[in-house]
Amino acid sequence: EYWVRHVRESVRFADAVGTLVDEGVSTFVEVGPGGTLSALGQETAPDAVFVPVLRGDRPEAVAATTAVGRLHVRGAEVNWEAFLAGRGARRVDLPTYAFQRERFWLDTPVAARSGVERTSPGEARFWEVVEEGDIADLARTLGVSADDPLSAVLPSLSAWRRKQRDRSTADGWRYRVDWRPVALDGRRLAGAWLVVAAAGEERAEWVGDALTRNGADVRVLHVDPRAGGWTDRSADLSVVDGVVSLLGLADADASTVPTGVAATLALQRALGEADVPLWSVTSGAVSVDGGDTAVGFEQSMLWGLGRVAALEQPSRWGGLIDLPETPEAPDGTAWDRETGDLLASVLAAGTGGEDQVALRGGRVLGRRLVPAPVGEVSEAGWSPHGTVLVTGGTGALGAHVARWLAGKGADHLLLTSRRGPAAEGADELSAELTALGARVTIAACDVADRDTLAGVLASVPAEFPLTAVVHAAGIERSAVLADLDPDDLTEFADVLAAKADGARNLHELLADTPLDAFVLFSSIAGVWGSSGQGAYAAANAYLDGLAEHRRAAGLPATAVAWGPWGGGGMVATDAQAARLRRWGLGTMAPDVAVAALATALDRGDGNIVVADVDWPRFAGTFTAQRPSALLSELPDARDL
Contact 525, 563 (CB under 8 A): no
550: three-class secondary structure by DSSP: helix
* Structure confidence at residue 93 (pLDDT): 75
**What would the pLDDT profile of 345-370 be if each residue is shown by its tens digit?**
999 988 667 899 999 988 999 999 99
Which residue(s) pair with 586 in the sheet?
612
* Structure confidence at residue 477 (pLDDT): 86
**What would the pLDDT profile of 270-301 be if each residue is shown by its tens digit?**
887 778 899 999 999 999 987 787 788 889 99
More confident residue, 72 or 148: 72
Is residue 154 scored above 60 in pLDDT?
no
Average pLDDT, the chain: 86
Cβ-based burial of 97 (10 A; exposed 0-12, middle 13-18, buried ≥19): exposed
**What would the pLDDT profile of 28-40 be if each residue is shown by its tens digit?**
999 988 888 988 8
- Beta strand segments in 214-294, E: 217-223, 242-245, 278-283
pLDDT over 90 for what percent of the chain?
Answer: 57
User: Mean of the pLDDT values across residues 442-449?
Assistant: 96
Q: What's the rounded Cα separation, in Å, for the pair 416 and 446?
A: 8
7: three-class secondary structure by DSSP: helix
Pairing status of strand 27-30 against strand 174-181: unpaired
Q: Of 124-133, 258-267, 276-285, 566-575, where does mean pLDDT reach its minimum?
A: 124-133
475: three-class secondary structure by DSSP: coil
Q: Of 135-139, 235-239, 441-445, 563-567, where does mean pLDDT reach its minimum?
A: 235-239
Which residues have CB under 8 Å from 72's CB, separation 6+? 78
Q: Which of 85-94, 228-237, 459-468, 575-584 has the highest mean pLDDT?
A: 459-468
More confident residue, 135 or 44: 44
Contact 206, 334 (CB under 8 A): yes
User: In this structure, what are the phi and psi dihedrals at residue 80, rounded to the nearest 5 degrees?
Assistant: -65, -30
Is residue 483 scored above 80 in pLDDT?
yes
Q: What's the rounded Cα separation, in Å, for the pair 311 and 314?
A: 6
Cβ-based burial of 4 (10 A; exposed 0-12, middle 13-18, buried ≥19): exposed
Which residue(s) pair with 364 in the sheet?
359
* DSSP class of 479: B
User: In this structure, what are the phi and psi dihedrals at residue 74, rounded to the nearest 5 degrees?
Assistant: -85, -5
Contact 611, 619 (CB under 8 A): no
* Structure confidence at residue 233 (pLDDT): 52
Name the pLDDT band for 142 (thresholds 50, 70, 90).
low
Is residue 112 scored above 60 in pLDDT?
no
Name the pLDDT band for 109 (thresholds 50, 70, 90).
very low
Helices (H), 133-243: 135-142, 150-171, 203-213, 234-238
pTM comes to: 0.76
